Structure formats: structure tokens, C-alpha cells
Amino acid sequence: MATPLPKRKRADTTDIPQPGPTDNIHLQTILSLQPTTRVSLLSSAADKHPDIAATVAGLLAYAAGKYPDVAATIPASEGRAVAAEPVKAKKDALPPSAKVIDFDHYSKTAWRAINTQYKSMKGSYQYKASSGVQDDVVGCIKGIRKKCSAGASYGTKKSALETLRKIGKTVCMSGGDVIGSEVQKGFQMDTCLEDTMYGIVQRMTQGERDMVMKGDFGVKMEELVELSKDYCVFGKLDVVLALLEGAEGKRRVGEVVKCNDEDDSEDDSEG
């Protein structure tokens, strides 16, 4: 009588490694697991590695359509949606107050537009290009204002203020050629930088203002206010600094600050 073959042992799933972001997930390996283990393993992989979320969703969709026991393990409360739609990364579902947006690339864009993009052109051509450069810099400022919403996190607001300060300093220090000089003239009247900074600071709590001023940002803001007076630009910047420091500005937000080379006797009379 032939000896019966021993029963094949069930695969031990306890030591199955979690797939990394560049691993190739083999469907047959997944399907050899218990249904609950399949979904748990795939969901865990998608959570930890958002870049394979679409692959995971595709595997679930295929397996759910072919194997009813897989479909049954997908939560009914989700209407089996996980098997039909790509799994979204958790970070995409975070509210604005939990995200931190880095705006530093805007300061680099503004610096290049003013200092290098048209550097090889002659003065007359630079003059013609200067209005476009002004628009580019204003576009950077507006981009920050749009993305730094009312519910933005402290980190996002801090990055916005630091980037706007850098753009402001670039404008102040770039008056050595035609484009830099013309951009400075533009910001003698255009107050979008100060208005954007003021709006961000207004939406900060006093605790957030204190935190942002504890580092070197406060010193650099004071430096920018002085530079703005030297070059007669950003006329409302000292009001932003006053709000950050928790003090009431001596001037209304819409009032232009005098340049350092102007007679300041009127300021003295204000007390």
C-alpha cells in the first residue's frame, strides 16, 4: 500500500516582509495568504509607501473581481471603493493646519528673474524686460498668498514670511542695474509684499508671532525695514514688524512710511 503523501503545511505569513516602495508585489504571493492577511498587508503597504498605492489598488481590484473571498474582506462601509479606486496617500487627506508648505523656491525664482535672467542684455533691452520681471516677482508673492490660506499651519505661515522677507531683500539689494532699479521703482508704489505679510501675521496667534520672532527672523525683519527706508520701497513694512512684535503701529496700515532721506519732522510731531 502506497504511503500517503504528507499534507502541505500552510504558509507561515508572520515573517512576510512589508513591501518597500520599489518592490515588485507578486499577485500569486498575495493570493496565497488568508483573505484578511491579504488586505491587511496591502493596506499597510499603501499607508507606508504612497508611491505604490495605485499598484495596491489595482491588485485589490483584480483580486476582488476574481476571488469573492477577497472582496468580502474589504469593509462594506466603504462600498468596496478601495478595490475600485486608487488608494490616496494619507498626506493628501491632511487638513491645511497639519501640512507644512515650503515656499523657498519662490525666493529663488524672484532672485533669478531680477539678477540673472536678463543679465546679458544691453540696458535698453533690460528696460523693456523690466515690466515682465516686475510681474514675475509679484506673481511669486501672489503665489505665496494663495497657498498660505487662513487655516494654514504655523510651519506654512513661517515659511511664507521668511520667503517674502528674502524676496524683499532681493529687491532692495538688486538696484545696481536697469532691471533691479526698475523693479525697485515698481515696489515704491506696489504694496503687495507688505499686504501679504500683514495678512499672514494677522492670522497668526500671539504665541505663533512670539515663536517666529524668537529666531533670527526678527533681526532680519528689522534689517529689511531699514533697507526699505534706504531704497524707498515697501512703505508699510514697519507696520508688519509692529504687529509681529505685538505693538500697535504708529501709522495706519495704508499709510506710506517716509524714506530715511526725507524730512521726518512730521513723524516727530506724532510722538
pLDDT, one tens digit for every residue, the chain (271 residues): 555 555 555 555 444 444 444 444 455 565 566 555 656 666 666 566 555 555 556 666 666 666 566 555 555 433 344 444 444 444 455 566 678 999 999 999 999 999 999 888 888 899 999 999 999 999 999 999 999 988 999 999 999 999 999 999 999 999 888 999 999 999 999 999 999 999 999 999 999 999 999 889 999 999 999 999 999 999 999 999 999 998 544 444 444 444 444 444 333 333 4
Q: Which three cell numbers stand for residue 141?
A: 508673492
pLDDT for position 153: 94
Residues 6+ apart with CB under 8 A from 126: 118, 177, 178, 179, 182
Cβ partners under 8 Å of residue 125, min gap 6:
118
Nearest-5° Cα angle at 137, 259 to 150 = 90
- Sequence-distant contacts of 258-267: CB under 8 A, at least 24 apart: 258/229, 259/229, 259/230, 259/231, 259/232, 260/226, 260/229, 260/230, 261/232
**Inter-axis angle of helices 104-115 and 178-189, nearest 10:** 120
- The pTM of the full predicted model, rounded to 2 decimals, is 0.60
